[in-house]
Amino acid sequence: MFNYLDYVREKNLPHIWCSGCGDGIILKALIRSLKKLGISKDEAVMVSGIGCASRTAGYIDINTLHTTHGRAIAFATGVKLAKPNLHVIVVTGDGDATAIGGNHYIHAARRNIDLTVLLYNNFIYGMTGGQVSPTTPRGKMASTAPFGNLEPSFNIAGLAQAAGASFVALGDVYHVQQLDKLIASALQKKGFSVVEILTPCPTAYGRRNKQATPVDMMNWLKDNVVLKDKLDKMAEDEKAGKIASGVLWDVEKPEFTSEYGKLIARLKTEKQTKE
Amino acid sequence: MSKSPTGKIVMMQGNDACAEGAIWAGCRFFAGYPITPSSEIAEYLVRKLPKIGGTFIQMEDEIAAMGAIIGASLAGAKALTATSGPGFSLKQENLGHAVMAEVPCVVVDVQRGGPSTGTPTLPAQMDMQQARWGSHGDHGVIALSAASAQEMFEQTIRAFNLAETYMTPVILLFDEIVGHMTERMVLPEKGSVEIVNRRHPEKSPDKYFPYEKTENGIPILANFGTGYRYNVTGLCHDDSGFPTNDSKKIEANIIHLTEKIERHRKDIIRWRELYLDGAEVAVFAYGGVARSARRAVKECREAGIKAGLFEPTTIWPFPSEEILDIAGRVKAFVVPELNLGQMAREVELAAKCRAEIHKVNRVDGDPITPKQIVDKIREVV
């Protein structure tokens, strides 16, 4: 039988996540993917920012770096460039990656550096108590949007695609088998890969937005997150409020770390030729 | 620092000398963002690093550059970033992360005038206190200065050595005068320069605690990917590297970050003296201003005025004991600075009212002349 504890720092349990939070489901999906791909714990690095999602780094038994708010991708860029053979996984949230860390998110995508970004989207700042985030849907309630959110929300998967990422997917913690496949594909992709993962926050988001129980939130994911191919075939009136999941974008393009490695090799050859 | 190094004589700009020093120190990773008057450091390293298997990256902003060097350092590379006042402000949060997580790295600040955009192309020394207190929270800081291209080369090497020895970021507080000055310097003979490399854990991974203090009170962080899986965080943590809410452990963590520097003051603090024996007036000057100060005290001595010079090459930790000692022997300190008295404050605190403090300040973008210092010395005696 598969033993998750082989990949978990058991002494740090119980975790700090609330009942009904989906973050633990993502951690388990990641562990299964690492195991399946045969990525050793020593060659995997998790770099995280600040927020509930970023606390994942404390529980998984690989090399872990918990950084500052929004900056995980910048730190991860340094790790990857200094040791390109490491599998560098960034764990971040919607606020962390697309508000305070938005600049690093788009530039790492543009650079197409080989990082796997697991972006937990719970539509809210959970750890600080439920403030509105760049992905909070319009009209939804938050502690800093008590009259309903006036701002449109980011399409964070589309943002990565437009900025230059080579792999973009969307999954959620209800459709777990699909999530496993998406994380594994992202880990295997040589290039900047993003998996946006919808995950419930009943404590800070659901209770303000008529989804007070974890079951309500899971049901919402079940009913509204639909495979992209299936969604494309649906009638227009059925599409309303639905979110496309699966691999949304997957292209081959030059990856930054490899390109830099080629530059080093080229300069070495030129030097030898001169000598 | 070697007094008269032997080796290859070259003409070099201060910023280039800094970059060359970094390579000599073993730096193999640079992340930066363009900013005057430090950009030459990046422009030098972008050409050199890939030729020796190192990596250069121009990041999307100053914050990212600071983050990237911390990541690279944890993966085992000696790492550098370079900036100036506005960029140095932006780096402060991640600089604090490097302090908290005890990650060695070097940050160059070729100072210009502030606040805000200030005077990008003109000399100033306005980040002296920002280097000490710019990042939030209590912690010890190591910062060095330089008065010549030669010294920018040597201090950069020393900064890497101190960073690796004490597992901390080290700040190089240079200024535009020296950074943009091209002058004669000596590149020492290969192998003649002391280089400190990072220690690696001797304990097996199952017995390893990343923040356990070794015999000198400094932890050993294993490079990522070497079989030692541990956690690095900016949260208060215990020896295991995991966050803690235990008040005793929090206290130990914070006190350690100051104590690990303070305990080694004697090793870290360096200075130069000129004519201080029997001096009535001691000039306290650093960086580009020290060059004017040297001339000033020589002129004074030639005129029969007993002036001497104390030139700190370590700015932080501040040489308080040395200043107190001098304060007991002189009538007054004269402190010329390209700011409104940032280090004069420290001299005054350290002197404990045993000597007068007189300031010579300039914030108009021009350097302080020897005459300005001589005039002040004459006024004081």
ipTM given for this complex: 0.97
H or E segment to which residue A243 belongs = strand A243-250
Q: For residue B311, how many C-alpha atoms fall within 13 Å in the half-sphere facing its CB?
A: 22
- The DSSP string of A38-104 is T--GGGEEEEE-SSTGGGGGGTBSSEEEE-STT-HHHHHHHHHHH-TTSEEEEEEEHHIIIIITHHH
- State residue A148's pLDDT score: 98
A255-275 exposure pattern, b = at least 16 Cβ within 10 A, e = fewer = bbbeebbeebeebeeeeeeee
Q: What is the pLDDT of residues B213-271, one digit of tens each?
A: 999 999 999 999 999 999 999 999 999 999 999 999 999 999 999 999 999 999 999 99
Contacts of B73 in chain A (CB under 8 A): 78, 82
CA distances from A154 to A134, A137, B302 (A): 6, 9, 72
Place of tokens 């980011």: A154
SS3 B240: coil
Determine whether the interchain pair A71/B231 forms a contact, defined as Cβ–Cβ distance below 8 Å. no
For residue B286, the model assigns a pLDDT of 98
CA proximity to B335, closest of B306, B365, B355 = B355
- Cβ–Cβ < 8 Å for B26, B78: yes
- Residue A179, domain extent: 4-274
Tell which of A75, A104, A274 to mutate to test the B interface (max B CBs under 10 Å): A75
Stretch 68-127 of chain A: residues touching chain B, C-beta under 8 Å: 68, 71, 74-83, 85-86, 103-104, 107
Cβ-contact B83, B62 below 8 angstroms? yes
CA separation for the pair A211, A222 (Å, rounded): 13
- Complete edge-to-edge strand list for the sheet that includes strand A243-250: A225-227, A243-250, A167-172, A193-198, A116-121, A87-93, A44-48, A63-66, B231-233
- How high is the pLDDT of residue B1? 43
Task: State the pLDDT at residue B4.
Answer: 64
Q: What is the pLDDT of residue B324?
A: 98
Residues B272-320 have pLDDT tens digits of 999 999 999 999 999 999 999 999 999 999 999 999 999 999 999 999 9
Hey, are the CB atoms on A267 and B72 less than 8 Å from each other? no
How far apart CA A170 and CA A183 sit, in angstroms, is 10
Average pLDDT over residues B117-124: 95
Distance separating alpha carbons of residues B282 and A52, to the nearest angstrom: 56
Q: With a CB-CB cutoff of 8 Å, which residues 184-213 of chain B face chain A? A: none
Residue B3 scores a pLDDT above 60: no
**Which token pair is B295?**
């001339």
Q: How many domains does chain A have?
A: 1
Query: Coil, helix or strand for B348?
Result: helix
Residue B6, pLDDT > 90, answer no
Q: Is the minimum CB–CB distance between A66 and chain B shorter than 8 Å?
A: yes
C-alpha dihedral sign at A138, A141, A143, A144 = positive
**CATH number of the domain within which A261 lies:** 3.40.50.970
Task: Count contacts between A and B (CB, < 8 Å).
Answer: 134
What tokens does A29 get? 């999906």
Q: Where are the domains of chain B?
A: 1-268, 271-380
SS3 B188: strand
Q: In the 8-state DSSP scheme, what is residue B329?
A: T
Average pLDDT over chain B, rounded to whole?
Answer: 97
Which of A61, A75, A103 has the CB atom closest to B60's CB atom?
Answer: A103
Mean pLDDT of chain A: 97
Strands B27-32 and B7-13: unpaired
**Which chain A positions have a beta carbon within 8 Å of B76's beta carbon?**
82-83
Is residue A2 pLDDT above 90, yes or no?
Answer: no
Q: Are B48 and B23 in contact (CB under 8 A)?
A: yes
Q: What is the mean pLDDT of residues A261-275?
A: 91
Residue B284, Cβ density class (10 Å: 0-12 exposed, 13-18 middle, ≥19 buried): buried
Interface test with chain B among A6, A81, A105, by most B beta carbons within 10 Å: A81
Pairwise CA distance, residues B46 & B56, whole Å: 5
| Partner-chain contact B55 A260, CB within 8 Å | yes
Answer yes or no: CATH 1.10.3720.10 is held by domain B271-380. Answer: no
Residue A68 to residue B243, Cβ atoms within 8 A: no
Q: How far apart are CA B42 and CA B80, in angstroms?
A: 10
Strand partners, B32: B58
C-alpha B354/C-alpha A20 separation (Å) is 66
Write out the two tokens for A26: 């993502």
Best mutation site among A34, A65, A107 for testing chain B: the one with the most B CBs within 10 Å?
A: A65
**CA-based nearest residue to B292, from B375, B204, B196:** B375
End-to-end CA gap in chain B: 33
Q: What is the mean pLDDT of residues B74-91?
A: 98
> Which band of pLDDT confidence, cut at 50, 70 and 90, is reported for residue A273?
confident
**Can you tell me the distance from the alpha carbon of A273 to that of B158, in angstroms, rounded to the nearest whole number?**
35
Whether B79 contacts B31, CB under 8 Å: yes
- Whether the CB of B328 is below 8 Å from some CB of chain A: the reply is no
Instruction: Determine which helix (DSSP H) or strand (DSSP E) holds A218, and give its type and residue range.
Output: helix A214-224
Whether chain A has a CB inside 8 Å of the CB on B61: the answer is yes
**Residues in chain A within 8 Å Cβ distance of B242:** 9, 12, 58
DSSP H or E stretch at residue B157 = helix B149-166
pLDDT in tens, A102-118: 999 999 999 999 999 99
Buried b / exposed e over B224-246, threshold 16 CB at 10 Å, is bbeebbbbbbbbbbbebbbbbee
pLDDT at B5 over 90: no
For residues B14 and B175, give the distance between their C-alpha atoms in angstroms, rounded to a whole number: 10
Task: Note the pLDDT tens digit of each residue in A65-87.
Answer: 999 999 999 999 999 999 999 99
Angle made by CA atoms B217, B222, B228, in degrees to the nearest 5: 120
| Rounded Cα gap, residues B192 and A65, in angstroms | 37
Confidence of residue A212 (pLDDT cuts 50, 70, 90): confident
- CATH superfamily of the domain spanning B1-268: Thiamin diphosphate (ThDP)-binding fold, Pyr/PP domains (3.40.50.970)
Tens digits of residue pLDDT in B145-161: 999 999 999 999 999 99
Residue from the list A41, A78, A107 with its beta carbon closest to the beta carbon of B71: A78
| Alpha-carbon dihedral B319, B324, B330, B331, rounded to 10 degrees | 110
Query: What's the mean pLDDT in A163-182?
Result: 98
CA dist., res. A194 & res. A109, Å (int): 9
